[in-house]
Structure 1
Amino acid sequence: MAAQDFYEILGVPRTADREEIQRAYRKLARSYHPDVNKDPGAEDRFKEVSEAYEVLSDPETRRRYDAFGRDFRQVPEGVDPAAYARAREGARAGAGPGAGWARGPAGEDIRFATGEGIDLDDLLGEMFGGRGRRGRAAGRGWGPVPGADQEAELPLTVEEAYRGGRRAITLPSRGRTRTLKVDIPAGVTDGQRIRLAGQGGEGGEGAQPGDLYLIARIAGHPRYRLEGRDIHVKLPLTPSEAALGATVAVETPGGEAKVKIPPGTSSGRRLRLRGQGMPDPRGRPGDLLAEARIMVPPTLTDEERRLYEQLAGVSAFAPRSGGRTRS
């Protein structure tokens, strides 16, 4: 069975832009990542999705994939895609002896035979500067080719991004998986790239490998919302804390912090704790912005009800008219 097309694996059209490809990958990777999906086939599916994204997210490798299909890694630069396709078709057809011509990587015309008994590896070796079996034996080749840089997404929680630290990640590699140890800097932000030197694509003929760039993707959180390095959090208050003022505790990704509530605080007011947001190894950390939310008990005790009724009887506060009904 022919290998599935990378576009089909991601479920995107061939005209998809980079953002469409990235969205499709993120959705599928969340579904099939071995850490969250224990189905026996999930890991293989995750490998397929990751390989497809690895190729299609890079403009250069995508261009070569569109031109040469899954053979793109074996085809040297400069080979004419149309000539390559004609050579393969001629080799497959085997429709009697004959000859054909193809444009080589240096622009030269290369003659090849067609028909019964043709050896596709030898034919492509002649076309591509000695990369077939005979070319390798004769020592011809294109010389060392540095490995390509690669990208992969690194999913993080808000707490992991805040604290940083060392973490193991699993990535697909040549039909298998490999595990890498990654040092995550404290205060990494969504979209930030972490470079792992020498962990990208393998180089050809002993050349240096490329680099791997991990793109941090910080997941949504039920308590925290990030805007750059600022952290937004809801701060529930009792009516008395809001009216009289108080000092209350608020949870942050780095632990508990104290917030001073000014008297007369209403819901929606933002209280800023400078420097309590996401760390920044190169500068000033972000801020924590606690948004006041005044809460009342869903049910009242008899004493609470008596006191609220007493307050209602003496209070002149009229929030809907913007002032007081009496002084």
Structure 2
Amino acid sequence: MRQKSWSFSQILNIFIVALLCLSIILPFLNILALSFNEGTDAQRGGIYFFPREFSVDNYLEVFKQSSVLNALGISVFRTVVGTAISVLLTAMAAYALNTRTLPGRKFITFFIFFTMLFSGGIIPYYLVLTELNLTNSIWVYIIPGLYSVWNILIMRTFFSQLPDSVFEAARIDGCSEFQIFFRIVLPMSKPVIATIGLFNAVGHWNDWFSGAFYVRDPNLKPLATLLQEMLTRQQALADALLRNSGSYEMLEKITVTGDSLKMATIIIVVAPIIIIYPFIQKHFTKGVNIGSVKE
């Protein structure tokens, strides 16, 4: 049996990919170790991939707040509902723009693309949300972000690569455009749907800006916004103790610092995406046309 030989380019590619993986994994392990380490001990440094003084106080500090579970529910609601509606409407818009018989298709495509080039700014955007009664409402997290021009263009490009013979055969059999879309296009488009869905879900889950600037009701704050506010308060407390004492002596009385709480916050926000991603990844490279049509 002939032994496989590795070329220089293959070895170089493996080396580069390994470096990229390490550049992502090692900082994450460091953050994980710091999140499980006592805050005051972590300030001494020297913690890399394993906690020196194991403690769960950082996470207890986060979850002892009664509003955390409510904020978690808001984040789950906006992520699930917002992602589902956005992916469906984006796919419908992309399918319509991919239809060659659509009147004014080129103009509509240019009009949609034009919105990527210019923005009205934060103040006009806030005024529009106010006029639509979306501020201080849970729907401010969902309705303004239903459509993304970039996602529409990605889906339209994907739909254009699907075989026309499938659509022609469906129309000959008497299928309507809605039947073609739901029974043929969507099942054949799992990779792009999974990709766009993941983009939307990550955006919804990590968004703290909308809750901080467009919502005043504390019961409508998502988890990312709530954790960001908790982090700000904890850091302000640590800074106040330092100013009053002039040393780290007062900080010894607390086991949770702003930095340690920051690490725990990062893990809490990132963990759900890490858990869900492996279940979606299989659709990224899955063939979509296998067995659909034999030319």
Same fold, TM-score > 0.5, yes or no? no
TM-score per shorter chain, which class? under 0.3
Greater helix share, structure number: 2
Q: Looking at both structures, which has the greater relative contact order when contacts are Cα pairs under 8 Å and sequence separation is at least 6?
A: 2
Larger Rg computed on CA atoms: 1
In the superposition, the TM-score normalised over structure 1's length comes to 0.25
Scaled by the length of structure 2, the TM-score of the pair is 0.27
Higher strand share: 1
